[in-house]
Amino acid sequence: MSNNLSEVDPFSEMPMEMPGEQEPGEGTRRRATNPGDDEVIVEKSPKNNVEINTVSKAAYAEPLTPEEIQWFYKDGVDKRWNEFCGYDSLRIERIYRERQSLISESNDGTNGLPPAEKIVVRGGMYDVDIDNMKCVSIYWPGEEWEIMRGIWYYDGSWIPLETEHSKVIEEVHLKLFQKDSNNQSITTCDTNTPQSYKVLHTEQFPEFHVDWHSVNDVTLYSEYTPTKLMRSVTSKLGFAKTTGYRLKRGHKTCTSMEDKPRDIDHLVFVVHGIGQKRDTGKIIRNTTCFRDCVGWLRQKYFPNSKHRVEFFPVEWRSSLKLDGDIVDAITPYSVLSIRHLLNTSAMDILYYTSPLYGAEVRAGLQKELNRLYFMFASRHPGWQGKVSILAHSLGCVIVYDIVTGWIGPDTRLPCPQAQEVLLQGLQFPIENLFCLGSPLSVFLALRTRTPSNRLDVMPQSLCKRFYNIFHWSDPVAYRMEPLLERGYSKIEPVLIPPYGGVDDQQMPQSPSSLNNVDPPLPPTVTETDDKDDSPVDSPPNRNAEKGWSLWDLVRGGWNVREGPSSPTPDSNPPIRPGQELAQRLDYVLRAVGLGRNYLYTVTAHTAYWNNYDVAYFVLTRLFPTLET
């Protein structure tokens, strides 16, 4: 078998078929046991009492229609075959058949033919290259998936057989059962073993073989050697084979042009932070993971929603040359691995705060954002949707500076191209700015001597809503509200509720990369003692956690036993009338499981991409009418 089938081994998931079931008496008719199976006449020979199964003359096989064929793609996250929607599958099949017709008419295959027409699939996000059997991303580089034409499937799991195997099986099947076919070239294998099917034909493959018993009874047998115990048991029972897997021809459901994704009504540009210098595909993987989380939540909680959001990864780091790798040249060889980690991650912060390179970084991100927007608009003329930005870490700072037009103390003028880009500003309005694990408030605090003077952090004319989302244990994230009004240092940030509004939800059965980042852990003795008077989703209890806590420096010393967004019980309230912020800015994730452990700080900064609470929060803020 090929690698594609070995990744999702059908032999481990299929029920085992045992040929040789007890048949009815002589001359009786056995009805099909499964819907769609053919009717078989069972006759017994008077000489050797061997059953001979003859296919009813009415049972024929015709070539599959386009609606019976399903196309698949294998994405880069779970490495499994996923179905294209009916609209995409039918259009791919049409181009495929046209291409095969041209190839059959040509003497030198595809060499003398022009490239095949590209098919835009998955709601306008990918192109299908039928010549190379690939699905390629349109708006960002590097994402390329294998595609497959599904004809034959394993019964039960509906895992498609590989294309080359399906093609051979289909050709044999039509030669055996097509009404006007000539069966002279097909050899049959008979067996004299009692209680066994008559085998009309056997096709051998390297790791399995396929037996045809009737038009609707095709079985695949693995060539793997069974154990001694299995061989002994099956031998005593008179079974010649033990690993049969029933095959189905044509997909279980017919495709339809009506099965089509809705038009995109909200774009979200996903901007990465530091640490992407040597891994340009990381933001694509993170965006795919977040997109899958949002898609699962939308299907589970809002299946009838007419809204569609699409997430575009924005990779701004690879196009920047900056110092020309001079930092790598001056790096000593001592502790090389740690130095390499710092050069590819934390060094981006130094580059951005440098008076030489800050403008170049902003110009690079701004250019990429505008490129993606205009590329999308050119493919969707007249589009009237909204645009939001989801930024992480340092990306929040760069996006904020681009939106607000902050220039900075750059002593070196950028190149003419960068100057032209900076003078533009973004070419589209922003509906929401979601900041994940953001150090923005630190940057803003260091840019002014009076940070608590009611700064207008994000005018609504530039961005309607600003959300500062962080985890309790994230060592990079800082609050925004106390920067604008000092009294908010004693008011808890808004607690992001569990996704779906209830606790103990059933997570989707997906790979570990999509699992919830906060798996529950058994409570410690101290946590158990405080359980009665401390809310479950509150920040870590100060009395329960002995020792130094980084979060103590950030949260400003409020009383964590109070409910979310409640001030400390003080004789002097922290916020006087008229000092309240018009909109809350700080939103914190619930601290459960590993979130109560100091060791979780190592991974908390990158745990937002596969957190279903974050995904649900973003989805319901993009479309506020969903929950109503």
Q: Indicate the pairing of strand 208-214 with strand 201-204.
A: antiparallel
Which residues have CB under 8 Å from 52's CB, separation 6+? 43, 44, 45, 198
Active-site residue, selected from the candidate residues 166, 393, 438, 473: 393
- Residue 51 near residue 198 (C-beta atoms within 8 A): yes
Q: Write the CA distances from 274 to 282, 332, 345, 403, 560, integer angstroms.
A: 11, 22, 5, 19, 32
Q: Write the CA distances from 352 to 274, 280, 346, 348, 413, integer angstroms.
A: 10, 19, 10, 6, 15
Q: How far is CA 269 from the centre of its chain?
A: 16
Kindly write down the DSSP assignment for every residue of 224-244, as one continuous string. SPPPHHHHHHHHHHT-S---E
Kindly write down the DSSP assignment for every residue of 546-574, as one continuous string. -S--HHHHHHTT--TTSPTT-B---SS-S
Q: How far apart are CA 503 and CA 251, in angstroms?
A: 38
Residue 105 burial (CB count, 10 A): 8
Which residue in the block uniquely carries the two structure tokens 């294309």?
163
Q: How far apart are CA 24 and CA 30, in angstroms?
A: 7
Q: How far apart are CA 628 and CA 622, in angstroms?
A: 13
Instruction: Give the number of residues written for the chain.
Output: 628
- Residue 437 near residue 477 (C-beta atoms within 8 A): yes
Q: How far apart are CA 548 and CA 604, in angstroms?
A: 18
Residue 416 burial (CB count, 10 A): 8
Question: To which H or E segment does residue 602 belong?
Answer: helix 601-604
Q: How far apart are CA 567 and CA 488, in angstroms?
A: 8
β partners of residue 449: none
> What is the amino acid identity at position 207?
E
Active site residue 393: yes
- Residue 426 near residue 470 (C-beta atoms within 8 A): no
Residue in 483, 469, 458 with CA at minimum distance from that of residue 399:
458
Kindly write down the DSSP assignment for every residue of 401-442, as one continuous string. HHHHT-----SSPPPHHHHHHHHH--SS-EEEEEEES--HHH
* Sheet with strand 217-222: strands edge to edge: 152-154, 244-249, 217-222, 208-214, 201-204
Task: Please report how the helices 394-404 and 358-379 are oriented relative to each other, as an axis angle in degrees rounded to 10.
Answer: 80
Residue 366 has which token pair? 């701004």
Residue in 425, 426, 430 with CA at minimum distance from that of residue 386:
430
Residue 284 burial (CB count, 10 A): 20
Residue in 204, 208, 170 with CA at minimum distance from that of residue 187:
204
| Residues labelled catalytic | 393
